[in-house]
């Protein structure tokens, strides 16, 4: 998830796309990745190299190729959509690619980057997600067993505050900086004019370059990535909620996808001379009038992404009473004679 | 996790054929007996199994059927005389010296819901054997524990036990033909005919369990992610067992799945190796080639490698026309489908002889096996879901529950109660349907989009928003109020002073 937009946050998009590439390289298919980006970098009018997003200076690696599948882009990257994806409370019309269809045997990797603070993460400069909300969302996932193990990586300023409040089991968390510290960016590119990557993600990616699908490297090595000397901030991690020892957890458990397979030793014995059913057409296609477009998808349902009951307003009487009080006090203090001039 | 107390009742009839009645019966036939066993999964979850046995002697028709020549014929003849409701079992006890069962075999399990059991001399020995048979044919402690796998404390279940497909309302099955080398092989597969002939009977039998939808596709230039090794001795190419996990991922990206369906997808891939890599065999851990040339991955599907026979004359022109032998392929795919569902015949004791289910794919008692496991799993899922929904509502005091969410919750509660009751009465089919309804309703209630906790502000957030607005405004008001009060008091005192 990349939670920022605008040109000067180029590095966050590059971070996210680089992690996306590594994860795809290690075997996870697009159907198993939910990518949320503001996606306003590649075609930004300020981009001197349109249709590209580089993650390394001197423009060595274009991470925005033609097989990047962004599931939530631009204004769809909101706290609400993010929490909906996590908890599964999604409107029924959402397509499969925008859902997290995980079950109790799935290991989930969540990578978030953007601007953050002590206990919150800023989404697209207009809203925030707090660490309490994130912890609650994970708890909802755990209640429905939507994950087996979860690895949460966050690369923002004061990132460690985001994992302080987790309380569900089987979560491991990594952050790029502790509370009170800022995460710094890595390298500016003079040709493009912005910083291309954040330090922590840069070193994590260097580490991931050496991982291949059959590799046996474990999590303890990932914790060592980016020491203070290189990163300036102190990366942190949290493993107390995790059942297994991090030394036994392979990197490919989360970043790659190595499936359990079994050799099939049994066969069914089929009688080959059985007459088949006549290939019927699908039974009784009910002949209905073709629906007009507007009727098929209620427009209200498409437009209204949010439920109507969102904001809590103080009851009307309260405001009126407050104003009445203010006016009364004003006139009592300064004399009743002024009231004649108002009315 | 929410407490779950379920009683699984299996109505059983034990029919004694002529000459098989043990000498030490406690009372004359017919009589009834009950055996209960507790399968305790964790502190708050317990499943009791209760076998209600009705011992009786065989009727004339049954005796005639038991006089058949082979066990298979006897079983077929007995089938119309049995109680065929889902979940029930009938055991026919045959004398020790019977010729129906071959030497060394003590139990013959038919493909419906009955078994032929060799008498063991005493009632106790017979009962021990009967216990074994009923466990195979209905459920075992481990199969129930596997169904409730998310409640079992970690470490008690073997890691393999959690691999069967989870109970779902439907499954999508996709058959894919992968042809990486269309220049050399033109592959024809009559998938529609094969589905109609071989797959449909199996799915029709499984239609009690879930809805199945089948589709198929052909992918060209789709390669496996692993390069096979050439083995000089057998002059063939080999894929070793430890490279198999890496085969699936590169292909998966191209498989696609229906955008509309949210059901789990089972992929069955048939791979025709390239001409330059033919023949291709899969090696198991010991290095021996696998007879089926196929492997499967739990909860995903299976892959089979179909080797093209070398052409009679080495100068045959490419491309070769290949007609796939669908029967052989479907034998493997359907076996993999069974294994994915957890219907394996491997853990059966050696003195049991199991009748092959033939084209139906699975025996009636295997269907029962699935239904028991899925019903228990559904009930456990519903109770967890509803409990966590209740906890969510406790936590967020001002959450708004829409009417339809409320009605789904009521329906889920009613259905799950009915499912538990029906299980304790021994009506497996009705219990399973009720548990399916309960799961549908509870999932719909839990995943309703309006229950996002983000939408309901906690009280401290409300204070945090409004205090900075109103506090500065309130300061002069309060001070003025204080001034007014002082003035009024002074004013009241003044008339008394001015006198």
Q: Please tell me the distance from the alpha carbon of residue B472 to that of residue B466, in angstroms, as a whole number.
A: 11
Is A225 among the domain residues?
Answer: yes
Mutate to test the interface with A, among B270, B296, B449, B450 (most CBs of A within 10 A): B449
Closest CA to A115 of A226, A6, A193: A6
Q: How far is A335 from chain B (nearest CA, A)?
A: 11
Q: How far is B164 from chain A (nearest CA, A)?
A: 11
* CB proximity under 8 Å: A 32-71 to B: none
Mutate to test the interface with A, among B72, B174, B207, B253 (most CBs of A within 10 A): B253
* CB proximity under 8 Å: A 171-210 to B: none
**pLDDT of B66 over the 90 cut:** no
Q: Is B484 on the interface with A (CB under 8 A)?
A: yes
Q: Is B344 on the interface with A (CB under 8 A)?
A: yes
Tell me which chain B residues have a C-beta less than 8 angstroms from the C-beta of A66: none
Q: Which residues contact B434 (CB under 8 A, 6 or more apart)?
A: B415, B416, B418, B419, B422
Give A300-341 pLDDT, tens digit per residue. Answer: 666 655 555 556 666 677 778 888 888 888 877 777 666 666
Q: Please tell me the distance from the alpha carbon of residue B439 to that of residue B457, in angstroms, as a whole number.
A: 30
In this prediction, residue B402 carries a pLDDT of 87
In this prediction, residue A283 carries a pLDDT of 47
Average pLDDT in the B472-498 region?
Answer: 85
In this prediction, residue A65 carries a pLDDT of 79
A136–B453 C-beta distance less than 8 A: yes
A–B: how many Cβ contacts below 8 A? 186
**pLDDT of B383 over the 50 cut:** yes
Is A325 among the domain residues?
Answer: no
The residues facing B302 across adjacent strands are: B268, B296
Is B432 exposed, middle or buried (CB count within 10 Å of its CB: 0-12, 13-18, 19+)?
buried
Strands (E), chain A: 36-37, 72-73, 107-113, 116-117, 120-123, 127-130, 149-155, 171-175, 236-238, 262-263
Nearest to B299 among A31, A105, A333 (CB): A105
In this prediction, residue B212 carries a pLDDT of 93
In this prediction, residue A280 carries a pLDDT of 47
Helix axes B403-425, B364-395, angle to 10 degrees: 140
B231: part of which helix (H) or strand (E)? Answer: strand B229-231
Highest mean pLDDT among A28-32, A64-68, B143-147, B443-447: B443-447
For residue B392, what is the nearest residue in chain A, using CA coordinates? Answer: A140
A332–B480 C-beta distance less than 8 A: yes
For domain B170-341, give the CATH number. Answer: 3.40.390
For the annotated catalytic residues of A, the residue numbers are: 115, 157
Is B89 exposed, middle or buried (CB count within 10 Å of its CB: 0-12, 13-18, 19+)?
buried
Residue identified by tokens 């002590």 is: A118
The residues facing B107 across adjacent strands are: B117, B352
Do residues A121 and A3 make contact, with C-beta atoms less than 8 angstroms apart? yes
* CB proximity under 8 Å: B 155-194 to A: 162-163, 166, 192-193
**pLDDT of B173 over the 60 cut:** yes
B332–A260 C-beta distance less than 8 A: no
Q: Please tell me the distance from the alpha carbon of residue A145 to that of residue A106, in angstroms, as a whole number.
A: 9
For residue A84, what is the nearest residue in chain B, using CA coordinates? Answer: B452
Q: How far is B313 from chain A (nearest CA, A)?
A: 29
B154–A243 C-beta distance less than 8 A: yes
Look up the CATH number of the domain holding residue A109: 3.40.50.1460
A96–B262 C-beta distance less than 8 A: yes
Is A317 among the domain residues?
Answer: no
Q: How far is B479 from chain A (nearest CA, A)?
A: 10
Query: What is the widest separation between alpha-carbon atoms in chain A?
Result: 108
Q: Please tell me the distance from the alpha carbon of residue B94 to that of residue B118, in angstroms, as a whole number.
A: 5
In this prediction, residue A315 carries a pLDDT of 65
Q: Please tell me the distance from the alpha carbon of residue B268 to that of residue B301, in angstroms, as a whole number.
A: 5
Tell me which chain B residues have a C-beta less than 8 angstroms from the C-beta of A97: 259
Q: How far is A59 from chain B (nearest CA, A)?
A: 28
Q: Please tell me the distance from the alpha carbon of residue A331 to that of residue A334, in angstroms, as a whole number.
A: 5
Q: Please tell me the distance from the alpha carbon of residue A256 to that of residue A25, in angstroms, as a whole number.
A: 8
Q: Please tell me the distance from the alpha carbon of residue B287 to that of residue B434, in angstroms, as a whole number.
A: 48
Q: Is A145 on the interface with B (CB under 8 A)?
A: yes
Q: Please tell me the distance from the alpha carbon of residue B200 to that of residue B359, in angstroms, as a whole number.
A: 10
Specify the range with the lowest mean pLDDT, choosing from A264-268, A308-312, B84-88, B405-409: A308-312
Among left, alpha and beta (phi > 0; psi -120 to 50; other), residue B342 is left
Q: Please tell me the distance from the alpha carbon of residue B52 to that of residue B138, in angstroms, as a whole number.
A: 13
A260–B297 C-beta distance less than 8 A: yes
Strands (E), B345-459: 352-354
Q: Please tell me the distance from the alpha carbon of residue A316 to that of residue B197, in angstroms, as a whole number.
A: 70
* CB proximity under 8 Å: B 51-110 to A: none
Do residues B100 and B70 make contact, with C-beta atoms less than 8 angstroms apart? yes
Q: Please tell me the distance from the alpha carbon of residue B369 to that of residue B147, in angstroms, as a whole number.
A: 11
Q: Is B18 on the interface with A (CB under 8 A)?
A: no
Give B329-354 pLDDT, tens digit per residue. Answer: 999 999 999 999 988 887 788 888 88
B252–A84 C-beta distance less than 8 A: no
Give B188-224 pLDDT, tens digit per residue. Answer: 899 999 999 899 999 999 999 999 999 999 999 988 8
Q: In chain A, how many domains are there?
A: 1
In this prediction, residue B379 carries a pLDDT of 92
The residues facing B438 across adjacent strands are: none
Do residues A198 and A167 make contact, with C-beta atoms less than 8 angstroms apart? no
Is A228 among the domain residues?
Answer: yes
3-state secondary structure of A284: coil
Q: How far is B64 from chain A (nearest CA, A)?
A: 29
Q: How far is A111 from chain B (nearest CA, A)?
A: 21
**What kind of fold does domain B368-451 have according to CATH?**
Substrate Binding Domain Of Dnak; Chain:A; Domain 2 (1.20.1270)
Rg (CA), chain B: 33
Phi and psi for B497 in degrees, rounded to 5? Answer: -75, -45
Give B160's pLDDT tier (boundaries 50, 70, 90). Answer: low
* CB proximity under 8 Å: A 117-136 to B: 133, 136
In this prediction, residue A138 carries a pLDDT of 92
Tokens in use for A316? Answer: 């009307």
Q: Is B452 on the interface with A (CB under 8 A)?
A: yes
Phi and psi for B132 in degrees, rounded to 5? Answer: -60, -45
A103–B453 C-beta distance less than 8 A: no
Q: How far is B240 from chain A (nearest CA, A)?
A: 11
Nearest to B253 among A30, A279, A329 (CB): A30
Measuring CA to CA, how many Å separate B237 from each of B77, B228, B273, B327? 50, 6, 10, 24
A329–B480 C-beta distance less than 8 A: yes
3-state secondary structure of B237: strand
Average pLDDT, chain B: 85
Element counts in chain A: helices (H) and strands (E):
11, 10
Mutate to test the interface with B, among A270, A273, A301 (most CBs of B within 10 A): A270
A27–B452 C-beta distance less than 8 A: no
What DSSP string describes A288-333? -PPPPHHHHS-HHHHH--S-S--PPPPPHHHHHHHHHHHHHHHHHH
Tell me which chain B residues have a C-beta less than 8 angstroms from the C-beta of A101: 262
Average pLDDT in the B425-440 region?
Answer: 92
Mutate to test the interface with A, among B299, B454, B470, B490 (most CBs of A within 10 A): B454
Among left, alpha and beta (phi > 0; psi -120 to 50; other), residue B165 is beta
Average pLDDT, chain A: 82
Which residues constitute the domain of residue A27?
A: 7-255
B358–A266 C-beta distance less than 8 A: no
Q: Which residues contact B17 (CB under 8 A, 6 or more apart)?
A: B58, B62, B63, B66, B92, B93, B94, B95
Is A298 among the domain residues?
Answer: no
In this prediction, residue A302 carries a pLDDT of 60
Q: How far is B193 from chain A (nearest CA, A)?
A: 7
Is A156 among the domain residues?
Answer: yes
Tokens in use for A97? Answer: 């690619």
Predicted ipTM > 0.90: no
B483–A264 C-beta distance less than 8 A: no
A310–B480 C-beta distance less than 8 A: no
Tens-binned pLDDT, residue by residue, of chain A (343 aa): 999 888 888 889 998 999 998 888 888 888 889 999 988 888 888 888 888 888 876 667 888 877 888 999 888 999 999 999 999 998 888 888 899 888 888 899 999 999 988 888 999 888 888 888 899 899 989 988 889 899 999 998 888 888 988 999 999 999 988 888 888 888 788 888 888 888 888 888 888 888 888 888 888 888 888 888 888 888 888 889 888 888 888 888 888 877 888 888 878 877 777 665 554 444 455 555 665 555 555 666 666 555 555 566 666 777 788 888 888 888 777 776 666 665 5
For residue A79, what is the nearest residue in chain B, using CA coordinates? Answer: B454
Instruction: Tell me which DSSP letter residue B5 carries.
Output: E
pTM score, whole prediction: 0.82
Is A333 among the domain residues?
Answer: no
Q: Please tell me the distance from the alpha carbon of residue A259 to that of residue A148, in angstroms, as a whole number.
A: 14
Closest CA to B152 of B377, B413, B435: B377
B294–A262 C-beta distance less than 8 A: no
3-state secondary structure of A185: strand
Q: Please tell me the distance from the alpha carbon of residue B251 to that of residue B244, in angstroms, as a whole number.
A: 12
Q: Is B486 on the interface with A (CB under 8 A)?
A: no
Q: Please tell me the distance from the alpha carbon of residue B447 to that of residue A87, in angstroms, as a whole number.
A: 8
* CB proximity under 8 Å: A 301-330 to B: 307, 309-310, 312, 314, 322, 325-326, 329-330
Domain positions in chain B are 170-341, 368-451, 457-494
Do residues B171 and B266 make contact, with C-beta atoms less than 8 angstroms apart? yes
For residue B304, what is the nearest residue in chain A, using CA coordinates? Answer: A264
CB neighbourhood size of A210 (10 A): 10
CB neighbourhood size of B450 (10 A): 16
Tokens in use for B111? Answer: 């493909």
B327–A264 C-beta distance less than 8 A: no
């Amino acid at each position: 998830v990349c939670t920022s937009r605008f040109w000067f946050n180029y590095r966050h998009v590059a971070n996210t796309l680089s992690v996306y590439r590594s994860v795809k390289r290690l075997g996870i298919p697009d159907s198993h990745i939910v990518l949320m980006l503001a996606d306003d970098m590649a075609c930004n009018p300020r981009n001197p190299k349109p249709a590209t997003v580089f993650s390394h200076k001197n423009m060595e690696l274009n991470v925005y190729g033609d097989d990047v599948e962004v599931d939530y882009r631009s204004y769809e990257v909101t706290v609400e959509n993010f929490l909906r994806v996590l908890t599964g409370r999604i409107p029924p019309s959402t397509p499969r690619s925008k859902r997290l269809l995980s079950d109790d045997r799935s290991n989930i990797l969540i990578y978030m980057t953007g601007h953050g603070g002590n206990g919150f993460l800023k989404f697209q400069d207009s809203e925030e997600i707090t660490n309490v909300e994130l912890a609650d969302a994970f708890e909802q996932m755990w209640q429905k067993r939507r994950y087996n193990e979860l690895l949460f990586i966050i690369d923002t300023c004061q990132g460690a505050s985001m994992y302080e409040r987790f309380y569900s089991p089987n979560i491991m968390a990594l952050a790029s900086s502790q509370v009170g510290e800022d995460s710094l960016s890595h390298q500016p590119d003079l040709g493009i004019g912005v910083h291309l990557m954040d330090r922590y993600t840069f070193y994590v990616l260097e580490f991931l370059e050496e991982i291949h699908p059959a590799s046996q490297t474990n999590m303890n090595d990932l914790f060592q990535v980016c020491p203070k000397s290189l990163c300036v901030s102190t990366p942190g991690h949290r493993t107390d909620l995790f059942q297994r020892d991090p030394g036994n957890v392979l990197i490919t458990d989360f970043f790659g996808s190595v499936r359990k397979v079994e050799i099939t030793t049994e066969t069914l014995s089929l009688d080959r001379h059985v007459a088949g059913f006549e290939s019927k057409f699908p039974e009784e296609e009910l002949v209905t009038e073709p629906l007009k477009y507007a009727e098929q998808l209620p427009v209200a349902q498409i437009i209204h992404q949010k439920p109507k009951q969102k904001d809590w307003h103080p009851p009307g009487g309260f405001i009126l009473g407050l104003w009445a009080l203010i006016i009364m006090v004003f006139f009592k203090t300064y004399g009743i004679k002024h009231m004649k001039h108002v009315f | 996790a929410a407490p779950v107390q379920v009683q699984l009742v299996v109505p059983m009839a034990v029919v004694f054929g002529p000459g098989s009645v043990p000498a030490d019966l406690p009372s004359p036939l017919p009589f009834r007996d009950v055996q209960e066993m507790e399968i305790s999964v964790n502190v708050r979850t317990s499943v009791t199994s209760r076998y209600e046995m009705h011992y009786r002697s065989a009727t004339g028709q049954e005796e005639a059927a038991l006089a058949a020549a082979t066990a298979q014929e006897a079983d077929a003849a007995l089938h119309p005389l049995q109680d065929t409701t889902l979940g029930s079992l009938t055991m026919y006890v045959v004398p020790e010296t019977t010729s129906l069962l071959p030497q060394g075999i003590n139990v013959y399990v038919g493909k419906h819901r009955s078994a032929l059991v060799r008498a063991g001399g005493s009632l106790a020995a017979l009962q021990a054997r009967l216990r074994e048979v009923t466990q195979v044919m209905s459920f075992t402690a481990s199969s129930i524990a596997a169904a409730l796998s998310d409640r079992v404390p970690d470490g008690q279940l073997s890691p393999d036990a959690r691999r069967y497909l989870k109970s779902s309302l439907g499954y999508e099955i996709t058959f894919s033909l992968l042809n990486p080398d269309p220049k050399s092989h033109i592959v024809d597969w009559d998938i529609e005919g094969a589905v109609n002939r071989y797959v449909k009977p199996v799915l029709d039998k499984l239609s009690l369990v879930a809805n199945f939808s089948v589709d198929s596709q052909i992918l060209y230039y789709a390669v496996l992610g692993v390069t096979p090794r050439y083995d000089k001795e057998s002059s063939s190419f080999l894929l070793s067992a430890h490279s198999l996990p890496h085969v699936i991922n590169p292909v998966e990206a191209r498989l696609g799945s229906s955008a509309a369906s949210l059901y789990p997808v089972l992929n069955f891939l048939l791979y025709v190796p390239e001409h330059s890599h033919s023949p291709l065999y899969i090696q198991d851990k010991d290095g021996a080639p696998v007879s089926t040339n196929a492997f499967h991955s739990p909860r995903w599907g299976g892959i089979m490698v179909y080797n093209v026979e070398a052409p009679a004359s080495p100068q045959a022109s490419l491309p070769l026309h290949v007609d796939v032998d669908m029967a052989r392929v479907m034998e493997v795919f359907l076996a993999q489908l069974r294994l994915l569902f957890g219907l394996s015949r491997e853990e059966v004791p050696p003195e049991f002889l199991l009748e092959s289910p033939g084209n139906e794919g699975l025996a009636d008692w295997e269907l029962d096996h699935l239904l028991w496991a899925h019903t228990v799993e559904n009930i456990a899922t519903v109770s967890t879901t509803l409990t966590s929904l209740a906890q969510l509502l406790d936590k967020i005091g001002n959450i708004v529950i829409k009417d339809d969410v409320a009605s789904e919750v009521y329906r889920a509660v009613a259905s799950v109660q009915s499912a538990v009751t029906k299980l304790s009465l021994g009506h497996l089919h009705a219990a399973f349907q009720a548990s399916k309804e309960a799961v549908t309703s509870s999932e719909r209630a839990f995943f309703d989009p309006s229950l996002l906790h983000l939408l309901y502000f906690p009280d401290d957030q409300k204070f945090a928003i409004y205090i900075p607005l109103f506090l500065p405004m309130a300061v002069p008001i309060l001070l003025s109020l204080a001034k007014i009060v002082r003035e009024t008091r002074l004013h009241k005192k003044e008339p008394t002073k001015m006198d």
